[in-house]
Amino acid sequence: MTSWLSPQDWQALALSLRVAMLSVVLSLPLALALAWLLSRKRFFGRTLVEALLFLPLILPPVVTGYALLALLGRNAPLGRLLADIGIVFAFRWTGAVIAAAVMGFPLLVLSIRVAFDSVDQRLEAAAETLGARAWRRFVTITLPLSLRGIAAGCVLAFARAFGEFGATISFVSNIPGETRTLPLAIYELLNVPGGMPGVQRLSLVALLVAVAAAASATVIAGGVLRRRP
Amino acid sequence: MIEFSMRHAFADLALDVAFRADVRTLALFGDSGAGKTSALNAISGLLTPESGRIVLDDRVLFDSAAGIDVPVAERRVGCVFQDGRLFPHLDVRANLLYGARARGANGPADFDAVVALLDLAPMLRRMPATLSGGERQRVAIGRALLAAPRALLLDEPLTGLHAEARRQVLDHLRTLKRELGVFTLLVTHHADEVAALADEVVLLAAGTVAAQLSRAEFVAGRAASS
């Protein structure tokens, strides 16, 4: 496999995996909190929050990328503020994580919300009468009973992040070794004479990663549920 | 000792219930829709009445006039629901220990005693989905008892069980009454459960108290009317 993939291919694959995984891991706590709020609470502005949540799914990804640039770019007010304390996202791989996280976030929240909705709230009420406060009910009842949905959401968001193109290229550009993820590398090869074998190689890699992710999530969710005392 | 009063308007029922009792086991008896379960939920805190006052053994759980509404998790009432509501992802042992763990205790001192009283030892490692209806209700009763409750609230615990399972659970409830000193409130629409378990009975009809009788009066009244 080492000889089959070029060093540049490996670099793009490793970056894509790192970006996709980090984007899911970092957005998961916020997604869990937001999904729980949307599933269990009625609050002012709920409809607006839901509409905003859908935006990255509806907007052209390039527009989302531009919005990120306008918000977090070096010349944007928030971007400048963050740059002052040493945090820069524009044209950095960390920016690719942000772009991937934003694009995968709606899928993550929606999947987890459906999972929370499907938990029988009468079980949570039973736990409450047994003395369990809100956090304990969430950790011991809601979360374990939603595990499959959460795993499914993570796979969806990972897949979305792994395939992210439009928002990434417009926010952090296509810099080899820094922001050139697998889809960006494929795009680059498509524009180079004789790049077709590379396109085919990387496309096959993308396919293998997608299949592996889906299979492992199914195994993890099933295993965790079986192992519970 | 329980002192109970509540007013609450539902879309299809205006509830205005008040009673007090100082017995070991009290039954709330009436047809479905009479307001029995709502009264029970007001005691556990799962329903907040529009107004009323609920006192259990000198502890005020709810008093709308004084602005007291003790959170559900702090009321220490053990609920046994009609459908058991065992946690499906936890085995019987973990279900039984849930209340104690929620209160920060590792193993309640009376675990073995309750397991023995309810004959739960053979099923401690089993998952709820593998239990019969009667076994599920016995686990639910054990789970409620092991949360160290001030009162045990039983909401139609025998409904939906076949005759043999009903008899078994009823036997266990009688044993518990004899062996443990926990105040028990039984909601039912079966007269034989009242006769078997209750010391006193509050008759509910259309959201109000129709009568409060001793068991002897209740049994005599049923015999006379049948």
Average pLDDT over residues A200-204: 94
For B89, the closest of A130, A136, A144 (CB atoms) is A144
Please tell me the predicted confidence (pLDDT) of residue A1: 47
Q: What is the pLDDT of residues B150-160, one digit of tens each?
A: 999 999 998 88
Please tell me the predicted confidence (pLDDT) of residue A229: 43
Please tell me the predicted confidence (pLDDT) of residue A83: 87
Is A116 a member of any domain?
A: yes
- Cβ–Cβ gap B98/A228 under 8 Å: no
Q: Compare all CA atoms of chain B with the CA of A144 and give the residue at the minimum distance.
A: B89
Q: Check pLDDT > 90 for residue B135.
A: yes
- Cβ–Cβ gap B81/A126 under 8 Å: yes
Is A15 a member of any domain?
A: yes
The sign of the CA dihedral A69, A73, A77, A83 is positive
Q: Which of A119, A130, A136 to mutate to test the interface with B (most CBs of B within 10 A)?
A: A130
Local confidence band at A3 (pLDDT 50, 70, 90 cut-offs): low
For A129, the closest of B77, B88, B89 (CB atoms) is B77
Is A2 a member of any domain?
A: no
Q: Check pLDDT > 70 for residue A189.
A: yes
Residue A58: give its domain's CATH number: 1.10.3720.10
Domains, in order of start, for chain B: 2-89+149-225 (3.40.50.300)
Q: Which range of residues forms the domain containing residue A95?
A: 7-227
Total-model pTM: 0.86
Residues 188-217 of chain B with CB under 8 A from chain A are none
Q: Is B65 on the interface with A (CB under 8 A)?
A: no
Q: What is the pLDDT of residues B44-100, one digit of tens each?
A: 999 999 999 999 998 999 999 999 999 999 999 999 998 889 999 999 999 999 999
Is A1 a member of any domain?
A: no
Q: Check pLDDT > 60 for residue A227.
A: no
Q: What is the pLDDT of residues B16-56, one digit of tens each?
A: 999 999 999 999 999 888 899 999 999 999 999 999 999 99
* Strand ranges of the sheet holding B208-214, from the earlier edge strand across to the other edge: B68-69, B59-63, B51-56, B2-9, B14-21, B208-214, B200-205, B25-29, B183-188, B151-155, B77-80
Q: How many domains does chain A have?
A: 1
Measured between beta carbons, which residues in chain B are less than 8 angstroms from residue A133?
Answer: 73, 102
Average pLDDT over residues B117-133: 94
For A229, the closest of B79, B85, B91 (CB atoms) is B91
How far is the alpha carbon of B213 from chain A, nearest alpha carbon, in Å? 29
- Cβ–Cβ gap A132/B73 under 8 Å: yes
Q: Check pLDDT > 90 for residue A13.
A: yes
Q: Are A64 and A166 in contact (CB under 8 A)?
A: yes
Please tell me the predicted confidence (pLDDT) of residue B161: 87
